[in-house]
Amino acid sequence: MGAGVVQKDEGGGRRARRRSRRSRPMAEINVTPFVDVMLVLLIIFMVAAPLSVVGVPVQTPETAANPLPTPQEEPLTVTLNAEGGIFIQETEVARAELVTRLRAISQERDSDQIFLRADGVNAWNEVAQVMGALNAAGFNNIGLVTDIGGPTLDGGPGN
């Protein structure tokens, strides 16, 4: 934003010439730099928004499974991290409260689909216990979340 100088042209005597040499500030705002800054910020946010990953960081195992179809409502995700913590979406939940919270959530949802994300270092026993809790809470359609590109059982490379 800059201020320019406007010179006033007055005809007349000696006094008028002195005033014409003086300048007064321009009362207009230059908006172009403001628009430039806003466009740069818009581009930065448009590029950065998809890069922000929502959720609890876990290293899911890689498999050759095909992705599930996209549901109509926001998918409900339960995560079991490497330290054994259980999260519903991004909120940590104690093991004793898991079934009660999921029952309350299942009454508000139309679908019984839920996604289970488990870190690859977890023992199958822990994952199976969480799956049993999901089933006990009324979620019968459990999808295990994995990364694509893992090995296939026929010995060939993954997808």
The model scores a pTM over 0.75 = no
CB of 88 closer than 8 Å to CB of 109: no
Gyration radius of the chain's alpha carbons: 31
Distance CA 144, CA 19 (A): 81
Strand 77-80 to 86-88 pairing: antiparallel
CATH topology of domain 76-147: Nucleotidyltransferase; domain 5 (3.30.420)
Burial label, 73 (beta-carbon count in 10 A; 0-12, 13-18, 19+): exposed
**Between residues 98 and 1, which one has the greater pLDDT?**
98
Burial label, 114 (beta-carbon count in 10 A; 0-12, 13-18, 19+): buried
Mean pLDDT of 143-148: 78
Mean pLDDT score of the chain: 77
> Domain limits of the chain?
76-147
Mean pLDDT of 121-150: 83
